[in-house]
Homo-oligomer: A and B are copies of this chain.
Amino acid sequence: MTNRQIVLDRLPGGEALAPDHFALRTADRPTPGEGEVLLKTRYVSLDAANRAWMQGATYRSALNAGDVMAGGSLAEVVESRASNLKPGDLVFADTGWQEYAVLPAKRLTPLPDLTPQTHLLSVYGVAGLTAYFGLLECGQPKPGETVVVSAAAGSVGSIVGQIAKIKGCRVVGVAGGEAKGRWLTEELGFDAAVDYKSPEFKRQLRAACPEGVDVYFDNTGGDIFEACLFAMKTHGRIACCGAVSQYDGAPPPHGPRGVPGLIVTKRLTLRGFVVMDFADQNDRALADLQGWVNDGRLKVQEDIIDGLENLPRALIGLLHGENRGKRMVRV
């Protein structure tokens, strides 16, 4: 009746996140009260935002040293004291990095039992919905337009690029290294890939977008954001989804050049979003995503690592761009 947990033993502050910021702990398995459920964590979602939560309050409160590390999971109900959930139901829940969690049932919804279940955490989860709403609502791409996405080999970026292709756009992915670039163009159908680690990055970006960029889906911030800002066309749109280049270390002393000057002269629209903002449209989004997956137009890439104890290294690796597609840890 134990519960293995990974706690955030020490906040990283301005350091790069390292394994020794975490500790493995064994606690008692919790017991649900009235209106609560006991959940068994199946797959923990790894997301760059996990690191941002350590920097301070964002769209959720800041993490503190000694807390069980926060994170969303695909989890199974093992005991229920609520009428809306029964043992065996699958839910997406903020269990944190632990084997078992007790949560109030009222914000949880049973998920369909799909095969593979992991798709509930990738293409039909936060990653897929983030890609869908960020691109289509904030980016407003039109057929024939040029769409650039950064962290293009990641869970969100790989789906953004494929949806943009489905919508008839020319798609350029920014990713680190030639191998990822080849995967994007040869396997996922991107029109071009640009390596942000290359000293020729800016020139490559210009060459890949000779007429400029209509829509930039930003997952990285920093130098890549700046390069894309300078490459935008008049009346272009930037969907601000995340800033992974800024999370793992001290906050940068300055922001990208060209702000706000280029926003004015190019009449750009930048829009920041968080996937929950569009929750009322989830049904439509999921129907579209399932249709595209089922007819083979949207390929789902998952990167599954085994073992609760490997969560710290899985997150650190993700922050260093190790993964392709959606990274998760099977517990």
Contact = CB atoms under 8 A, between A and B. Distances in A.
* Most chain B CB inside 10 Å of its own CB: which residue of A52, A242, A264: A264
B274 A264 contact: yes
Interface string A224-249: 01100000000000101111001000
A32 to B, nearest CB: 32
B243 A261 contact: yes
A218 B261 CA distance: 11
A255 B252 contact: no
Contact of A272 (B221, B255, B265): B265
A107 interface: no
B264 A240 contact: yes
A160 to B, nearest CB: 15
A218 B52 CA distance: 28
Nearest to A234: B59
A259 B267 contact: no
A255 to B, nearest CB: 4
A300 interface: no
A243 B238 CA distance: 20
A295 to B, nearest CB: 32
Specify how many copies of this chain sit in the oligomer. Answer: 2
A258 B218 CA distance: 14
Contact of A254 (B251, B254, B260, B272): B254
Nearest to A138: B269
Interface residues of A, number: 38
A201 interface: no
A270 B270 CA distance: 5
A144 interface: no
A263 interface: yes
A168 interface: no
Contacts of A243: 260-261, 264
A68 B199 CA distance: 42
A44 B122 CA distance: 60
Given A218-B260, A256-B255, A269 B270 contact: yes
Contact of A273 (B226, B238, B267, B273): B267
Contacts of A52: 261
B272 A271 contact: no
A241 B180 CA distance: 39
Contacts of A226: 255
22 contacts: A226-B255, A238-B260, A240-B260, A240-B263, A241-B264, A242-B264, A243-B260, A253-B254, A254-B256, A255-B256, A259-B259, A262-B272, A263-B270, A263-B271, A264-B272, A264-B274, A267-B272, A267-B277, A269-B269, A269-B270, A269-B272, A270-B270
Given A243-B261, A263-B270, A269-B272, 9 more contacts: A225-B259, A240-B264, A242-B264, A246-B261, A254-B254, A256-B260, A267-B277, A268-B272, A269-B271
Of all A-B residue pairs in the complex, the 6 with the closest CB atoms, nearest first, are A254-B254, A263-B272, A255-B259, A255-B255, A264-B272, A270-B270
